[in-house]
């Protein structure tokens, strides 16, 4: 029978829109699990946030990504579903475009990532207290 673990990774955001690098926290959770080979699933249980992998080496990469996504889906008042705020409506669209889950390979007790890749939590309607669900399955 395969071993599996479920962890909750808290994320505190400080801005309306930002990318928070969570790579080290995810790596620590995988290491704590003791699983050497398997899969790591990351899931965001929020409709105004997302998760992605991208370069963490230059902080301007995050800035460019946020700026371009905001250019594609600006905050505006002509959305049909403005129950909370205009930022909330645009955040729903951004979350769907980027996605709320990732699957990573666990190999030799660590997460496989390229040398410049980092895991980012994307906030679109902050600041807020958020969480990332981390499920690690052996095998």
Tens digit of each residue's pLDDT (9 = 90 or more) over 79-90: 777 666 767 888
Give residue-wise pLDDT tens across range 60-101: 999 999 999 999 998 877 777 766 676 788 899 999 999 999
Q: Please report the pLDDT score of residue 98 as a whole number.
A: 97
Overall pTM surpassing 0.85 (yes/no): yes
Query: Out of 37-46, 73-82, 85-94, 121-130, which region has the weakest mean confidence (pLDDT)?
Result: 73-82
Interior/surface letters 14-50, b for 16+ CB within 10 angstroms, e for the rest: eeebbbbebeebbbebbeebebeebebebebebebbb
- Provide long-range contacts, Cβ within 8 A and 24+ apart, for 12-15: 12/127, 12/128, 12/129, 12/130, 13/121, 13/123, 13/126, 13/127, 13/128, 13/130, 14/126, 14/127, 15/123, 15/126, 15/127
Tokens of residue 42, six digits: 């990351």
pLDDT confidence of residue 82:
64
Domain spanning 4-138, CATH architecture? Sandwich (2.60)
């Amino acid at each position: 029978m395969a071993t599996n673990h479920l962890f909750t990774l808290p994320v505190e955001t400080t801005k309306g829109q930002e990318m928070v690098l969570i790579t080290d926290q995810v790596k620590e959770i995988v290491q704590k699990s003791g699983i050497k080979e398997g899969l790591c699933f990351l899931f965001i249980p929020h409709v105004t946030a997302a998760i992605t992998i991208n370069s963490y080496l230059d902080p301007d990469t995050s800035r460019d990504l946020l700026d371009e996504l905001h250019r594609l889906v600006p905050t505006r008042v002509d959305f049909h579903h403005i129950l909370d705020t205009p930022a909330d409506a645009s955040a729903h669209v951004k979350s769907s475009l980027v996605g709320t889950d990732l699957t990573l390979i666990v190999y030799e007790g660590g997460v496989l990532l390229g040398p410049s890749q980092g895991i980012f939590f994307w906030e679109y309607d902050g600041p807020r207290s958020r969480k990332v669900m981390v499920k690690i399955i052996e095998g």
